[in-house]
Structure 1
Amino acid sequence: MFQKLKKTTYIPTGKPVLIWDGTCGFCKFWVTRWKLATGDAVYYTTFQESAQNFPDIPLKEFKKASRLIDLTGTIYSGPDSAYKLYEFVPSKDYPFHRWYKKYSAFRWLSDHAYNFIAKNRPVVFKLVKILFGNNPTNLKLYWLLYIFCILLFVFMLFQ
């Protein structure tokens, strides 16, 4: 499981920074989505490019989970980094970060789901592409079609 780090003394300037694994296709897919949503509000970089700028964060922790570092030096780790990103989406109010902080069951489920995904990135990435398509800038909701086909099949079985 990834470690939840609290603070860094190497505070970003200008805007918060999300640090992610540049070799991970799953990560790149979702970072592309988040960039579209947050615009210029967050700086996105890989740990391969920027880990040396945060020497108080162990490299092994960058390899385990994404890290969002805000302008106070607070570090949001794993699913909390993703949820915190939604606070930078203009004109939308997503509750995920509040839920993560407030509800221990939501936090536990998020942390364990994130850990599972992190350990199985290639397989989960294939599943993401099956459900949403290959282009993160233009999601296709294929999963709706799959559910419809399954329901149609079940309906036909019981006729």
Structure 2
Amino acid sequence: MFQKFSHTKFPPEVKPILVWDGECGFCKYWVTRWKRISENKIHFKTYQEVALQFPDIPIKEFKKASRLITPEGTVHSGPDSAYMSYYIANPKSPCHYWYVTYTWFTKLSDHGYNFIAKHRRIFFKITKVMLGSNPLSFTYYWVLYCFGIILLFFLLLKFL
């Protein structure tokens, strides 16, 4: 499980920075999408580029989970880095509020994030199969898959 850090002594000066694993295809896919959604309100940097700027956060922890670091020095880890990124882009997004308010949501998010992080390659493949290869223009293949499964089910029922 990734370790959470509440604060860093070395915050970015201008705007929040989302630190992610530049060697992870799954991470790159979603960061590409988040860059567009955030409308330049967040810097996106790989831990390979900036980890040394945050010496109070071990590199092994950057490898385990993304971190959103604010100019105030607050560190949001794992799923909350994504939730807070969405909140910065769209203050109506409720996920960060749920994460800090509801214990069940925090635990579910942390365990889900940890599971996905440990199986990034397979989840990257699933993501591309379900949403397409272009993170800037989703193709909702999952709708076609569901329709095909339902159609197959009804055809089987009709002929059995």
Same fold (TM over 0.5): yes
3-state DSSP of counterpart to 1:40 = coil
Partner residue in 2 for 1:48: 48
After TM superposition, the runs of 4+ consecutive aligned structure 1 residues lying more than 2 A away are none
Q: Does 1:17 align with 2:17?
A: yes
* Deviation of the 1:40 alpha carbon: 1.1
Shift of 1:158: 1.5
State the SS of the aligned residue for 1:41.
coil
SS in structure 1 of the partner of residue 40 of structure 2: helix
Q: How does 1:8-157 map to 2 (within 5 A)?
A: 8-90=8-90, 93-157=92-156
Give distance in 2, aligned partners of 1:102 and 1:152: 42
Using the size of structure 1 for normalisation, the TM-score is: 0.97
TM-score by length of structure 2 reads 0.96
Q: Distance in 2 between matches of 1:89 and 1:74?
A: 17
Aligned residue for 1:158?
157
Distance 2:27 2:126 in 1: 13
Tell me the distance in 2 between the aligned counterparts of 1:39 and 1:4.
Answer: 27
**2:98 is matched by which residue type in structure 1?**
W
Unaligned runs of 5+ residues in structure 1 are: none
State the secondary structure of the residue aligned to 1:34.
helix
Query: Matched residues, percent identical?
Result: 53
Report the number of matched residues: 158
CA distance in 1: counterparts of 2:85 and 2:62, whole angstroms: 17
1: CA distance, partners of 2:55 / 2:155: 60
1:27-85 per-position Cα deviation (integer Å, ceiling 9, x unaligned): 00000110010011000000000000000100100000000001110000000000000
Measure how far apart 1:106 and its partner are. Answer: 1.1
